[in-house]
Amino acid sequence: MGYPSAHDDAAFATRQVHAGESDDAAFGARITPIYLSAGFRFDDFAEARDRFAGEAEGYVYTRSGNPTNAALERRIAGLEGGRDAVVVASGQAALTVSVLSVVGAGDHVLSAQSIYSGTRSLFSQAFGRLGIEVEFIDDPRDLGEWRRRLRPTTRALYTESIANPTNEVADLAGIAAVAHQAGVPLIVDNTLATPYLVRPIEHGADLVVHSASKFLSGHGAALGGVIIDAGTFDWAARPGAYPHLTRPDDALHGRSYVEAHGDHALTAYVREVTGALFGPVLSPVNAFLIQQGIETLSLRVQRQSSTALEIAAWLERQPEVRRVDYAGLASHPSHDLTARYLPRGAGAVLAFEIEGGEASASVFYDAVDLFSRMSHIGDARSLILHPATTTHAHLDRATRERGRITGGLLRLSIGLEEPDDLIRDLERGFAAVRVAHDVDAIDTDVRVTEGSTR
């Protein structure tokens, strides 16, 4: 089912508070309650039978649906402009379920090169073991390369709206055009941008995924993921391309998912098969926490993006900085796409490369105090991480080099603190690097002098 609402035409800030809500008939609760129930009672034999057959409204088991989770799904679908949405246990689960709902063994997927390392490992290792080949586009801006890499077995294209951590911005409309000319869907991870900054469906994306643990929640207290279906892709247009959706299914009494569910075929398949059978269920408690975070999404992301731009510009002026990866800067290769797709801001995640490689990055990392040293982004608190020795350490050197993940690269996720306080903390890091450099220079001079007098 879709999620039309009286708030559909309202501004974003209004929809993030009201979209998808429903009245609590029992007690009149204004906030969606947490329904901590594994299963749900049936009034009689017929109702149990009809709910399992999909012929009666209502819930069966929280693994396949829960009122708290459904409220979150309605809200996110409304914000992204999707027809439907399904929440799952994590962002990685959202990626896994979305891709496995589209492709199968022997199929081929084209992906941007500059995607997050955890996603790359999922594609290369886990999916490769299942017989799904994922090929990476060297230059995602080259639409001709996307076209040249297409195969008869290609079943999906994948990109991130803003790449983590190097900030490449995807040409969403261009990649979507390539996908649709080939008769395949475009899947977009919109975690870093959020629907406040860009809604990929408006630019042709067919599926959108999020790690809801990040900016959607904003507080770092809960894991969650979501898959949003635009409901516009014609799964039956290429006979045999998506047989799990177009061929008769015993579970649907001989009908196909397209016949039984129409525009909601993919979402129904996610709910009933990949989501329900693989079982990456989102806890209703986490759904509740994420929904509370979404109510302030625009306020947070607007401030975080503004602060990130200020800090990126300041970092670019520091003599110890070799480069700053932030698409909001005129110097970034994706700045033209930022102006086109992200007029409200370029997000809150950036990276910078410091002179001196890993040694300098280590000193800087240990010297900051206000930035929390942790593997997360999108928090109300500002965070710092060294990708080459943490999130990207498992990648081979050549892959890291292609992705510009150098020893001197540090990733920042900007929170809600005052910009001046964050800059002072970063100054502390640079001061520590200068001291370390001076000590190393003195030690070198002493060794040279001692060697010359022997």
Is the pLDDT assigned to residue 453 strictly greater than 80? no
| Residues linked to residue 156 through DSSP beta bridges, in sequence order | 109
How many Å apart are CA 101 and CA 245, to the nearest integer? 9
pLDDT digits (tens, 9 = 90+) for 355-367: 999 999 999 999 9
Mean pLDDT of 46-61: 89
Specify the pLDDT at position 32: 87
Of 194, 267, 273, 274, give the one whose Cα is nearest residue 235: 267
Specify the pLDDT at position 56: 87
Is the pLDDT assigned to residue 7 strictly greater than 80? no
For the ranges 93-102, 381-390, 435-444, the lowest mean pLDDT is seen at 435-444
In the chain, domain spans: 12-294, 297-452
For the ranges 20-34, 38-52, 150-164, 321-335, the lowest mean pLDDT is seen at 20-34
CATH for the stretch 12-294 = 3.40.640.10
Mean pLDDT of 404-424: 96
What percentage of residues in the chain have a pLDDT greater than 70?
Answer: 94
Specify the pLDDT at position 22: 73
Q: What is the pTM of this model?
A: 0.92
How many Å apart are CA 292 and CA 66, to the nearest integer? 17
Is the pLDDT assigned to residue 446 strictly greater than 50? no
**Homologous superfamily of 297-452:** Aspartate Aminotransferase, domain 1 (3.90.1150.10)
The letter for the amino acid at 174 is: G
